[in-house]
Amino acid sequence: MKWLLMVFYYKLLMRPFLSILVGVKLVNSENLRQSGPVIIVSNHNSHLDTMSLMAALPIKQLIRTHPVAADDYFGNSPFKRFLSRWVINALLIKRNRADGDPSPTDIMINSLDKGHSLILFPEGSRGEPEKLQAFQKGVGAILKRRPNIPYIPIFMRGMGRVLPKGEKLLVPFDSFVSIGPKSFTNQSEVTLIVKEVEEAVRKQSDVLLHLFKH
């Protein structure tokens, strides 16, 4: 049931809407054709980011991929809770947790161990368009404990103009999603892993720049 709803929403509604009306273009989308659990790491400027990534996934992976989101934002109203459960397929993480709650890292690793994939926005919140903020530690903590799980670096450009933070009106602009090759971390220190992943995402930003420049 949920699978049908998600396929209908992302493949039949979102995909054509994003590519024809909004103007989202995928660069190297074949890099997303993965089977096993992966961690998709991307910059974050807009709610459209999650929509574009989910719509770009292979149909089989759709239900087994969870965007990681903050519980205090996406779980604070019945409507948002319905959306995150049935449509976004989100994995909600509590930012302020009480004693005894499992740690966010444990929740995410638990999901990966079940063979599911995660979408992480390590910048934390939606920042200013095209400006990469410093990455948070979470992605490093996970990859340190599960170095055999690959990550896919992604950079998105233009979404921050289509639907910026705090805006309700969507305005079509050409925007690009550059998808990097999957890679395994070769660091063992949390901060170094975070740095490596951040570099990989930055590299995808350069891929987009070089696509059009001389």
Partner 1 sequence: MNYFLSNRFAENKEVLSIILVILGILIFATVLFFVLGKIFPGDKVRELQQRTKSWWIMALIFILATVLHPSISFVAFGFLSFAALRELASISKNVRPEDRRVIIWCYLAIPVQYFLAYMGYFNLFMIFIPVIMFIWIPFVLVVRGFTVEIGKSMSVLPVQLMFTVFSISHLAYFLSLPELTGFHAGGRGLLLYVVFLTEMNDVFQFTWGKLLGRHKIIEKISPNKTWEGFIGGFITTIVVAYFIRFLTPFTAIESLFAGAIIAFGGFIGDVIVSAIKRDIGLKDTGNLIPGHGGILDRIDSLAIAAPSFFYFVYNLYYA
Q: Which residues bind partner 1 (CB under 8 A)?
A: 23, 25, 129, 158, 161, 164, 167, 169, 171-175, 211-214
Distance CA 206, CA 194 (A): 19
Decide whether 59 or 171 has the Cβ nearer to partner 1.
171
Angle subtended at Cα 26 by Cα 131 and Cα 156, rounded to the nearest 5 degrees? 10
Decide whether 114 or 214 has the Cβ nearer to partner 1.
214
What minimum distance in Å lies between the beta carbon of 18 and partner 1? 13
Decide whether 98 or 169 has the Cβ nearer to partner 1.
169
Cβ-based burial of 159 (10 A; exposed 0-12, middle 13-18, buried ≥19):
buried
What minimum distance in Å lies between the beta carbon of 95 and partner 1? 29
Decide whether 19 or 105 has the Cβ nearer to partner 1.
19
Nearest to 21 by CA among 199, 172, 163: 172
What minimum distance in Å lies between the beta carbon of 22 and partner 1? 9
Decide whether 28 or 105 has the Cβ nearer to partner 1.
28
CA dist 68 → 3, 25, 138, 186, 206 (Å): 18, 23, 11, 24, 26
CB-CB contact of 197 with 139 (8 Å) = yes
What minimum distance in Å lies between the beta carbon of 21 and partner 1? 9
3-class secondary structure, 95 = coil
What minimum distance in Å lies between the beta carbon of 155 and partner 1? 16
